[in-house]
Amino acid sequence: MTQRYLVTGGAGYVGSVVAAHLLERGHRVTVLDDLSTGFAEAVPEGAEFVEGRIQDAARWLDGSYDGVLHFAAFSQVGESVVRPEKYWENNVGGTMALLAAMRAAGVRKLVFSSTAATYGEPEAVPIPETAPTTPTSPYGASKLAVDHMIGGECAAHGLAAVSLRYFNVAGAYGALGERHEPESHLIPLVLQVALGRREAISVYGEDYPTPDGTCVRDYIHVADLAEAHLLALDAMTGGAATGAPATETSAAGAAVPAGEHLICNLGNGNGFSVREVVETVRKVTGHPVPEITAPRRAGDPAVLVASADAARERLGWTPSRPDLADVVADAWAFARRTATRDEEGRA
């Protein structure tokens, strides 16, 4: 059955790929994005585009929508340390305004783009959803605050919601791929070296307690991530189906049952080291990738790998593209396409 969804941040990397998947399933999609970090050309063909801020979502959101998928957040960890107010105002304040708009419009389904940064430095890996949440940056803290806010909205006002905590997202989906300014993610940075746009890749620390001494991270293909969002829409439950007690009484005197707030990690459950990523880029691209060994960065855990058991059990989700070479190959195709377009634009 065709549904109508609002995708906030749908001109960004993950949001645009999820919007494309929704359209492919026959749904109607409206993208709301202020283009502060997204790109208008990334809005998939067939989606309605509204340029605006999530703080003003009430101007567009009405009862014709079946749900919201929320990606409109600032996500640079380093920037959040020096400009925490930017992250609290947008990530937390913006989401508060979005939830109020949803409540007023009677839109009661939400999928939220959360992050593994809510866990901070883990006590054990793989990391389950029950792990302590001790974020080490304002970015991670802002996402955790939103998770708490959503939980309260579900309990008090019958929202049905799923928070998906990503680990390392990579790869591309056709013409939709990763573009950040500044870029801070490993795979696109290494690909910039292969393209000749960067002289070398810095390897921060080679004395970690890992097989090759470099940090290990869990990489997930962006298309697998998108599929998890669509499954979340189908899996979420609200109202009496949760078995939760009623927490609010409507104007007509009828009880409003609590909705469920489900939290799931998304990752492959397998880790790849920095050196494994670099070597995979060399093999996929056929280009040399010089390395520079640099000191460890403060706060970099040795291993961050997800336990995705909850996503398998509750969403029925398993990644179908777990091979790192496939992830890198798709990202490489997108990087070359983008580089060619940029060169043509300068000609």
Q: Among 85-99, 165-179, 250-264, 314-328, whose mean pLDDT is lowest?
A: 250-264
**pLDDT tens by residue, 336-347:** 998 877 666 655
Look at residue 193 and tell me whether its pLDDT is greater than 50. Answer: yes
**pLDDT tens by residue, 2-40:** 999 999 999 999 999 999 999 999 999 999 999 999 999
Question: Would you state the pLDDT for residue 257?
Answer: 78
Q: Among 67-71, 222-226, 257-261, 313-317, whose mean pLDDT is lowest?
A: 257-261
Question: Would you state the pLDDT for residue 256?
Answer: 64
Look at residue 108 and tell me whether its pLDDT is greater than 50. Answer: yes
The set of residues, in sequence order, having a beta carbon less than 8 Å from that of 329 and lying 6+ positions away, is 284
Q: What is each CA distance from 251 to 142, 159, 255, in whole angstroms?
A: 33, 17, 9
**pLDDT tens by residue, 242-288:** 333 334 444 444 556 789 999 999 999 999 999 999 999 999 999 99
Question: Would you state the pLDDT for residue 184?
Answer: 87
Question: Would you state the pLDDT for residue 255?
Answer: 58
- The answer to whether the predicted template modeling score (pTM) of the entire model surpasses 0.75 is yes
Residue for token digits 């060994």? 293
Q: How far is it between the farthest Cα atoms of the chain?
A: 69
Question: Would you state the pLDDT for residue 180?
Answer: 83
Asked whether 159 and 146 are in contact (CB, 8 A), the reply is no
Q: Which residue has the higher pLDDT, 121 or 252?
A: 121
Give 130: exposed, middle or buried? Use CB within 10 Å, 0-12, 13-18, 19+.
exposed
Mean pLDDT of 96-122: 95
Look at residue 196 and tell me whether its pLDDT is greater than 80. Answer: yes
Which are the catalytic amino acids?
139
Question: Would you state the pLDDT for residue 343?
Answer: 63
Question: Would you state the pLDDT for residue 253?
Answer: 43
Q: What is each CA distance from 227 to 75, 148, 168, in whole angstroms?
A: 21, 25, 16
Question: Strand 291-294 and strand 201-204: pairing?
Answer: parallel
Which domains, ranges and CATH numbers included, belong to the chain? 4-346 (3.40.50.720)
With H, G, I as helix, E, B as strand and everything else as coil, classify residue 74.
coil
Question: Would you state the pLDDT for residue 214?
Answer: 97
Q: Would you give the distance in Å from CA 293 to the centre of its chain? A: 29
**pLDDT tens by residue, 125-163:** 999 999 999 999 999 999 999 999 999 999 999 999 999
Question: Would you state the pLDDT for residue 238?
Answer: 67
Question: Would you state the pLDDT for residue 252?
Answer: 43
Mean pLDDT of 296-323: 93
**pLDDT tens by residue, 168-180:** 999 999 999 999 8
